[in-house]
C-alpha cells in the first residue's frame, strides 16, 4: 500500500509518503524512516514529522492512512487524535478477541476477532467506551456461537467423537 501527500509549509512544497508492506516506511522528501506499529494485531502507526516548525503526523489504523498537519487531518478534515489516547481497554479487547477467537475456532475465530479489533480502535479513539464494551460482548457471543456450531457439526458428522 502506498499513499503520498504534497504539503506546503512556509511556501515550500514537501513530499510525504507512506508505504506499507513488510514493514512500514515514511518517506519525507526522499529520506526513508522506518515506522513501527503500536499493536501486535492491527497496524497502528502515529509517526511524527517536524518540518520548519509545522507538526505533521502520518497516522495509520489498519488500511486507513491520513496525514495530520498542525492538528487537522488532510483527508477527512477532522481534528487529530493521538493514538496513545486510545484506552488501554481497547488494546485488551483486541488481544482477547484475536487470541480467544483463535483458541475457540482457529483461524475463522481469529479473523472475526481481527475484524472487531478495527471497531474497538475506532470507538476507543472517539471515546465511546460503552459502545466498545458492547462490541466486545457481541464479538464474544459470535465467537462462542461459532465454536458450538463447529463442535456440533464435527460430532454430527462423526469426524470428532
Phi-psi region of 158 (alpha: psi -120 to 50; beta: other; left: phi over 0): left
* pTM, rounded to two decimals: 0.75
Distance between CA atoms of residues 98 and 143, nearest Å: 10
Do residue 16 and residue 73 come from a single domain?
A: yes
Separation of CA 148 from chain center: 29
Give me the domain span that covers residue 53.
2-81
Distance between CA atoms of residues 20 and 135, nearest Å: 28
The domain boundary residue, chosen from 81, 103, 127: 81
Query: 10-residue block means of pLDDT along the chain (161 residues)?
Result: 89 92 90 90 90 91 90 88 89 94 93 94 91 97 95 88 62
> In terms of Cα–Cα distance, which of 115, 117, 108, 95 is closest to 146?
108
Amino acid at each position: 500500500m502506498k499513499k503520498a501527500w504534497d504539503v506546503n509549509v512556509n511556501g515550500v512544497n514537501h513530499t510525504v509518503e507512506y508505504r506499507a508492506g513488510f514493514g512500514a516506511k515514511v518517506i519525507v522528501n526522499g529520506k526513508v524512516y522506518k515506522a513501527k506499529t503500536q499493536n501486535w494485531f492491527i497496524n497502528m502507526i502515529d509517526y511524527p514529522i517536524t518540518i520548519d516548525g509545522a507538526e505533521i503526523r502520518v497516522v495509520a489504523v489498519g488500511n486507513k492512512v491520513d496525514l495530520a498537519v498542525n492538528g487537522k487531518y488532510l483527508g477527512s478534515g477532522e481534528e487529530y487524535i493521538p493514538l496513545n489516547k486510545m484506552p488501554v481497554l481497547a488494546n485488551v479487547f483486541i488481544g482477547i478477541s484475536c487470541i480467544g477467537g483463535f483458541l475457540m475456532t482457529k483461524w475463522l475465530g481469529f479473523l472475526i476477532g481481527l475484524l472487531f479489533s478495527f471497531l474497538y480502535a475506532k470507538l476507543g479513539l472517539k471515546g465511546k467506551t460503552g459502545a466498545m464494551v458492547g462490541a466486545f460482548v457481541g464479538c464474544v457471543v459470535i465467537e462462542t456461537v461459532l465454536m458450538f456450531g463447529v463442535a456440533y457439526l464435527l460430532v454430527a458428522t462423526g469426524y470428532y467423537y
